[in-house]
Amino acid sequence: MKKINIILGLIGVIGLAFFFGTADHKVDCESLKQNEKSDEYSGVIIEKYIDQDQHMYEKVILDKSPGTDVILLDWETSGFFDFLKIGDSISKNPNSLQVNVWRNDKDTIYTLKFYCLEETYSLKK
């Protein structure tokens, strides 16, 4: 019985090593960037929160004419979510990772950055 547990444990470890070692992290990261790059939004922030019921997603709710828009900032690492305040006006054009933020009389341009595993791996080398 003890031998079977050891063999099953080894198979599990080898399976996990194979799965994580062969996953194409670059594709995931590039698709994440491309999805955000293709987005276009503009409006005034009426709410921002971390959605505890939905995997701790960072959500920003924009008031726009007509209706509202929900922006998810998961994996974004520049500090953009923390910088934003309710009442800020923001605008993002397609084919860009730059977001304009207007607060009072200040205009700030933020470049969105994303957590990517291949960047972490390249830093270790």
Count how many Cα atoms sit within 13 Å of the Cα of residue 67 in the half-sphere of its side chain: 3
Domain CATH for 103: 2.40.50
* pLDDT of 25 over the 70 cut: no
Q: Indicate whether 11 belongs to any domain.
A: no
Q: Which residues form the domain of 114?
A: 24-124
Residue 13 lies in a domain: no
Q: Total domain count for the chain?
A: 1
Cα separation, 75 vs 113, in Å, equals 8
pLDDT tens digits along 31-70: 778 888 889 999 999 999 998 887 788 999 999 888 899 9
In a domain, 17, yes or no: no
pTM of the model: 0.68
